[in-house]
Each structure stands twice: as C-alpha cells, then as structure tokens.
C-alpha cells in the first residue's frame, strides 16, 4: 500500500506541472506527454496506441480502481481523489461544447449503460456506481466518501450550462446516501449522509436551480419506481413462498449483525490510532493541506 501511495503522489507531482487544457490540445512537451499518457502502464501491457483522450480515460479508470483496494488508506484515498480531479479536468477540456446525453435510468449498472462518446460522463457513471453496493464492507465507507468528494470537486469545474448530464449520475448516489438513516458504528460511515447533503448543496449552487431540479426529479422518480417494484416483489414472494421470505429475513438479520461487528472493530481501530473521520471535500477542492502533511494538490 505504501508503494501505491507514493506512486500516486509522484503522479500528483507530475500533474501539478501540467495544464489540463494543454493535455486536451496536445500542447505539452513530448517528455511530459509520454510520462502522462503512459503513467498507467499502457505501453507495458502491450496495448495498441490510442488517442490521447482514450489513454487519459484509461488512466482514470486505473486510478479509480485504487479505491477498491482492501487496504485503502486515508492518504491514498485523498491523493487518488486529487489525481482523478486532474484527469477529469483533462477530459472536460477535450469535451465538445454540446453536452453529452444524460442517462435515461440513473440506477443502471455502469457496465450495462450504453457506451457514450463522453469519457468524462462514463467516469461519472462508473464512480457513482462504484460508490454504491455493500456499505458493510470495511473499505466501502472510505471509498464512498472519496467518491462524494470527487463528484463535488469535479462538478465545480464544469461550466454551469454544461452540468446537466453530469448531475444525474452524481445525484443518483448522493441522494440515496443522504436518505440513509440506518448506517452507524463507524465515524466515516456516520458522516456520509451529511457529506452527501453538503455536496448536493454545492452542486445546487453551482449548476443553478433549473438544471439541478431537473436532474433531481429524474433521480427521485427512478428511486421511487425501484422501491415500489421491490416492495411489490416482496409482497408477492411472501404469499407464494413463505419459507423463502423467512430465510431472506434471517439472512438480513445475520448480515446486519456482522456489519455491526465489523463497524465496531473498525471504530475501535481508528480510535486506537487517533484517526478522525472528517471530510476532505473542501481541502481537495481548494488544495489545502490534509492531515498535516505536505500539500500535493494537482489543481
């Protein structure tokens, strides 16, 4: 994990010397371009040469996967968010003036969403979906917090007139987190609903009421439809197969108990280490130092 953290910091130092607009316009030096575009090991893996935008998008995918690591640390998470903000700005600079189409169903799996010509929108969708799922995993709270921070920081760089399509995947995960009243037992987990609300407020102020409310209505309608469908399915199952319903309830009870144990163990470990659970959103956006360490902002 130390190696991954240091590698991300080296990339952050490189990104700090490069203008995202210059990357999109191919106006950086050959040496910097080679270092940037091959930072993800594209050439080493034997992948055929691709357009710069495609290779930056590939580096973004490789970078976001670091958040899925089982040994994800605070320092690595903060640096990954900063690197993803830079890569997102590179993709934004290469975007056409016309906004990409919004997702028809914000609840779709990222892998099931039809391919889009916007690498930035694809990155939004993948990070949004990645931040959902089993919230009981020990790595998931830090992953979700990092995703929320990136969504807020990255959207603030997008011109308000072009924010609309990107708000839908962002709100798809933020809205669900803000409405979740069941998560507890871990300092980071307990702060996720409040962080989600803060990021939603930032998106609202930045994009304006019209664009924000349009995306918000799409998301809430999809959430209600999904919940109604699941509720109806459970009622039908309870009548058709009572035994299966009893087994499902027992599995949920056992899962809740296991999640509680893991969260309690994680909270005890963090207290022993003296690690706080404060959000880094403002520090990532403004480039302030985090955790008392040297600032390695890429902005």
For residue range 263-288, what is the model confidence (pLDDT) as tens digits? 777 777 777 776 544 444 444 455 55
Over range 178-190, report the average pLDDT. 71
Among residues of the chain, what percentage have pLDDT more than 70?
69
Which residue did the predictor score with more confidence, 18 or 146? 146
Whether pLDDT at 171 is above 60:
yes
Over range 185-206, report the average pLDDT. 85
Please state the pTM of the whole predicted model: 0.68
CA 8 to chain centre: 17
Rounded to 5°, the CA angle 197-198-201 comes to 85
The per-residue pLDDT for 170 is 94
Contacts of 242 (CB under 8 A, 6+ apart): none
Residue tagged 């037992």 (tokens): 185
- Where b means 16+ CB within 10 Å and e means fewer, 248-282 reads eeeeeeeeeeebeeebeebbeebeeeeeebebbbe
Q: With the C-alpha atoms ordered 279, 118, 209, 127, is the resulting torsion angle positive or negative? A: negative
The per-residue pLDDT for 298 is 40
Rounded to 5°, the CA angle 205-206-208 comes to 70
The per-residue pLDDT for 212 is 94
Whether pLDDT at 199 is above 90:
yes
Contacts of 40 (CB under 8 A, 6+ apart): 55, 58, 59, 62, 63
Contacts of 122 (CB under 8 A, 6+ apart): 57, 110, 115, 116
Rounded to 5°, the CA angle 152-156-162 comes to 115
Rounded CA-CA distance 214/205 in Å is 14
End-to-end CA distance of the chain: 24
Among residues of the chain, what percentage have pLDDT more than 90?
26
The pLDDT mean for the chain works out to 76
Using the 8-state DSSP alphabet, how is residue 47 labeled?
Answer: P
Most confident of 14-18, 26-30, 115-119, 201-205: 201-205
Whether pLDDT at 155 is above 80:
yes
Over range 140-163, report the average pLDDT. 91
**Half-sphere exposure at residue 73, Cβ-oriented, CA atoms within 13 angstroms:** 12
The per-residue pLDDT for 210 is 93
Widest pairwise Cα distance in the chain: 68
Write the pLDDT tens digit of every residue in 207-236. Answer: 999 999 999 999 999 888 887 887 888 788
């Amino acid at each position: 994990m130390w190696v991954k953290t240091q590698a991300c910091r080296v990339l952050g130092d490189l990104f700090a010397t490069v203008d995202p607009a210059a990357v999109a316009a191919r106006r950086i030096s050959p040496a910097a371009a080679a270092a940037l575009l091959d930072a993800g090991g594209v050439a080493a893996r034997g992948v055929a040469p691709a357009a710069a935008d495609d290779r930056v998008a590939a580096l973004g995918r490789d970078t976001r996967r670091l958040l899925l690591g089982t040994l994800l640390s605070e320092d690595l998470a903060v640096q990954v968010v900063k690197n993803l903000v830079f890569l997102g700005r590179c993709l934004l600079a290469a975007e056409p003036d016309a906004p990409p189409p919004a997702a028809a169903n914000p609840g779709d799996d990222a892998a099931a969403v039809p391919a889009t010509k916007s690498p930035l929108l694809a990155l939004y969708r993948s990070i949004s979906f990645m931040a959902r799922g089993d919230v009981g995993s020990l790595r998931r709270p830090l992953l979700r917090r990092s995703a929320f921070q990136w969504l807020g920081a990255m959207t603030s760089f997008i011109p308000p007139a072009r924010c609309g399509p990107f708000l839908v995947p962002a709100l798809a995960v933020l809205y669900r987190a803000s409405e979740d009243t069941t998560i507890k037992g871990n300092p980071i987990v307990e702060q996720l609903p409040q962080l989600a609300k803060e990021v939603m407020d930032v998106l609202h102020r930045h994009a304006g009421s019209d664009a924000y409310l349009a995306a918000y209505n799409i998301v809430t309608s999809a959430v209600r439809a999904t919940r109604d469908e699941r509720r109806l399915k459970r009622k039908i199952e309870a009548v058709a197969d009572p035994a299966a319903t009893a087994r499902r309830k027992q599995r949920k009870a056992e899962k809740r108990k296991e999640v509680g144990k893991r969260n309690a163990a994680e909270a005890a470990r963090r207290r022993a280490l003296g690690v706080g659970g404060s959000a880094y959103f403002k520090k990532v956006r403004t480039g302030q130092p985090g955790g008392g360490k040297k600032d390695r902002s890429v902005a």
